[in-house]
Amino acid sequence: MTTGTGAQTTVLLTGFEPFGGQTINPSWSAVQEVRRTWAGSEDIRVLELPVDFASVDRVLTDALETFRPDVVICVGQAGGASALRLERVAINVDDARIPDNQGRQPVDEPIVPGGPAAYFSTLPIKAAVAELGRLGLPAVVSQTAGTYTCNHVFYRLMHEIGRSGRDVRGGFVHVPFAPDQAVGTESPSMAIDAMARGVAAVLATTLSTSVDARIGGGSLH
């Protein structure tokens, strides 16, 4: 796929470093696997983000300025989730239940002071969930990305896209624990290769879908 100017489409996929006492973060493993296995003509760039409220903005914005991507899919870990969670809304608040990797624990702080209360994903999340179902991968539309660094990055991404004035599609996907992380617990898990196939399917759907499908994907609570 190429952009409207005929240039090669650039895709930025981000994952996170481990946090919360974990030794791996499956989001980073999954996006690296997508880059390794992607067969399309798109230029796939990947970036590992720090779980650090103070430095992650600079790391993300530097990458956006350097790569000037046409599509950005940020991926994070949602321990306890049983499906791929395609996030609908990013909200303008940091409220950390646990400290980040530098010991910071903001409570009820705006991500962008004076910024909009929320941003919506511009990925075709419902079409992507439908495609994931056809592939036999569990996936749902999620109404909240939480209030930790995943939501922080999602909000900051959409804010920077809006400020840039460029036609960039962006959003956030949460993945479950990897099997090794769930050993000895009751938490569900998903193989890294399945996560990667899921993220790749979200990307492929984004590249081929200009208007999202009108499919029920709401929740009662």
Active site residues: 87, 150, 174
In angstroms, rounded to a whole number, what is the distance separating the alpha carbons of residues 212 and 206? 9
In angstroms, rounded to a whole number, what is the distance separating the alpha carbons of residues 129 and 217? 9
Longest dimension (CA), the chain: 52
In terms of Cβ atoms closer than 10 Å to its own Cβ (0-12, 13-18, 19+), residue 5 is: exposed
In angstroms, rounded to a whole number, what is the distance separating the alpha carbons of residues 94 and 98? 11
The separation between the first and the last C-alpha atoms of the chain, rounded to the nearest angstrom, is 39
In angstroms, rounded to a whole number, what is the distance separating the alpha carbons of residues 45 and 13? 6
User: Are β-strands 169-175 and 71-77 bridged in parallel, bridged antiparallel, or unpaired?
Assistant: parallel
